[in-house]
Amino acid sequence: LLVKYNGTIGYIKESYTISLLDKANEVYPEVNLEEIDIKNIVYVTASELNIRKGPSTEYERDGSLEKYESVRVLKEFDDWYFIMTNEYTFGFVNKKYTEVLDGIFVIVDLSEQRLYMYNNNELYLIAPVTTGKDLTPSDKGLFKIWYKGTNEEIVPNHIVDYWMPYNSACEGLHDAERWRSQYGMHTDAEKEAQAYRYNGSNGCINMQKENAKIIYETVSIGTKVLTHK
């Protein structure tokens, strides 16, 4: 298969892949999807939102989502969305407990240690990141970029090329190559834990300079930043 991933084009072996369309139609044949077409990206506004096996509360519960978690909407059924989660599972959620993200926006998945930037529901960038450690976790929520700066000293002896703070705790998106070399999910064999949990940031979203530059040149003051588990 000829694929494009995070800006890189190349080939992967088809026998090591699963068709999400086939998976969705196998589990929910009644939905009759013709393609995996993302209608909207939405996030959860309730403290917890049940995923159902059909578009009604009469259907069995099949998991739940936490507040601020994001999902992809594939089809609408009156007051319900047929969704695909970040774990590539499918189900139905009630629309009234969600809000739509539109335009250009950034999603940071704290569990995955990945950042996703979208432009009108089209995935524009995937980037590995390092977020807050256990003692200083990154805040979860929906925020907006309120400032953009370059070549700034955000804390003593920590200068960044691209700085985009988004909340009152002064957490923000920025490069960190002057003091960090690894990003994303990687483990320490001795401690047997995700490295970011003990060697993460003070709450900011650290990333490689090249990705910070792309984001800096794409977002504006007021661009939404959603951080969730």
Q: How far apart are CA 16 and CA 1, in angstroms?
A: 10
Q: How far apart are CA 80 and CA 101, in angstroms?
A: 17
Sequence-separated (6 or more) residues with CB below 8 Å from residue 116: 106, 107, 108, 109, 123, 125, 126
Q: How far apart are CA 160 and CA 193, in angstroms?
A: 28
User: What are the pLDDT tens digits along the chain (229 aa)?
Assistant: 999 776 689 999 999 999 999 999 999 999 999 999 999 999 999 999 999 999 999 999 999 999 999 999 999 999 999 999 989 999 999 999 999 999 999 999 999 999 999 998 899 999 999 999 999 999 999 999 999 999 999 988 889 999 999 998 899 999 999 999 889 886 655 555 578 888 899 999 999 999 999 999 999 999 999 999 9
CB atoms near residue 3 (< 10 Å): 10
Q: How far apart are CA 16 and CA 88, in angstroms?
A: 16
Between vectors from CA 161 to CA 224 and to CA 145, what angle results, nearest 5°?
15
The first and second tokens of residue 220, run together, are 């504006």
**Phi, psi at 20, each rounded to 5°:** -65, -35
pTM equals: 0.90
